[in-house]
Chains A and B, each alone.
Chain A
């Protein structure tokens, strides 16, 4: 591995601008903390979080992945399943379907026996494939006699096209997530008025049926977290990287280095351009070696220093669909806050004494 361009990837344990000890650390952090949303759409949010410690940024990331609650199908009561997809496989697939339902509307369900309208959502799924109304045109004896690879003599393309239509013997019925029908329970219709519970995507293929086969089932969903099962995780990506610091020690460094991707030194850079004068380039910088490319002069490597800032994080959060991306960030903050409050209460309950067993 070439090491000419990058040195010192390490991160300082304590950022230089942070005092060693402070009486009110939260007050200090709330002054240094800075948040800027750099991109937001229906599925993704990107933001810069700076002035916090890496442990806090990482806690947020971990909570977004594993501890922000969502709703998902948990129990499936199969009345009839004649398809090739076995009950347990079908139930697993149903569980993975993202459900658009606000988890704040529901309580946690700890025991399936306690299911009520406050903690359970119910979907019905009933798909019946049209039966084969046309006789199979291929006599079974002919099939057996046929040499492998030999086309069936009388089965032209028109026949097959006809047979694939509903009622034909080759017709395949597809079962989609959109076939899941929400069955409001108890007061749900009232307190979820205007916000119907439904699968996020209607076009997730769940199973395929032959003519005459059917699937009839009832699926019960509950609130859960990704730690329990990945189907509850609200994100497809929640990650951060550290902002790059590019230091150029000598302005003689050529501003243009031919590379095939965005570089800190790219084509329209003016001759007096240094990384210091182009902060956004450092923003895009991923601190990879090809970024600096092959130095055009041998002395180039000595003049550029690439490091990372230990207290500036470029987050990217992509939702899996259940919650808006920024809502996931919000919920993650709320979960961490709730943890702190919870343990303060526990500490108070425990009192000043020691636990029995050492």
Chain B
């Protein structure tokens, strides 16, 4: 989905800022991204090995940039960021798999059926919510 980027010719989609002689500290400027990716990526990076510091900011709400600052204990920041993105993608895969399972349609899911709504009936929590609702006056 080319929602991100929209890389204009004038400016690179990804800008990398830092000192040439220190690979362990970098600021990555993502074009076309916001808190959606910034915060989720920050969280994942903070759980990575070798990360000393990670923070993100959106310098101005009407400019389409998010800055992610990454400082490691020595490993190249680039490799850590790459792994962080991989891990975040991995979490998405895990959720997609859980959705398949929850829908119970993992094998039979077809493209043409995707507009339909065929999932197993509501679970126990719905019954409980209904019971509670019945008691409302």
Contacts and interface: CB of A to CB of B under 8 A. Distances in A.
Contacts of B101: 35
B74 interface: no
Interface string B15-39: 1111010010000011001111101
Interface bracket on B = 35 or more
Given A27-B90, A35-B102, A340-B92, A225 B16 contact: no
A39 B117 contact: no
B13 interface: yes
A62 B14 contact: no
B86 A344 contact: yes
Nearest to B64: A227
A30 B112 contact: no
Contact of A23 (B17, B49, B85, B91): B49
Contacts of A47: 102
B75 interface: no
Interface in B119-134: 119-120, 122-126, 128-129, 132-133
Contact of B119 (A25, A37, A344): A37
A347 B87 contact: no
A262 B126 contact: no
Interface stretch (A125-133, A249-257, A278-286): A278-286
B116 interface: yes
Interface stretch (A79-87, A169-177, A179-187, A321-329): A321-329
A2 interface: no
Interface stretch (A51-59, A135-143, A146-154): A51-59
A210 to B, nearest CB: 39
Nearest to A358: B17
Interface residues of A, number: 83
Contacts of A342: 2, 4-5
A347 B82 CA distance: 7
Contacts of A329: 99
Given A48-B125, A55-B39, A335-B1, A326 B99 contact: yes
A40 B65 CA distance: 37
A179 B36 CA distance: 39
Contacts of B123: 36-38
Interface string A343-358: 1101111101111011
A347 B102 contact: no
B44 interface: yes
Contact of A194 (B5, B112, B128): B112
Contact of A62 (B12, B36, B51, B92): B36
A21 B49 contact: yes
Contacts of A27: 90
B3 interface: yes
Given A23-B49, A284-B129, A337-B92, A343 B122 contact: no
B99 A333 contact: yes
Interface string B30-62: 100111110110111001110100000000000
A323 B133 CA distance: 28
A358 B123 CA distance: 54
16 contacts: A21-B51, A25-B44, A38-B123, A62-B34, A194-B112, A262-B132, A280-B128, A324-B114, A324-B115, A326-B117, A330-B99, A333-B92, A342-B4, A342-B5, A347-B85, A352-B76
Given A262-B132, A350-B14, 16 more contacts: A21-B47, A30-B94, A47-B102, A58-B35, A58-B39, A58-B40, A67-B3, A67-B36, A102-B114, A326-B99, A329-B99, A333-B96, A334-B92, A336-B36, A336-B92, A347-B78
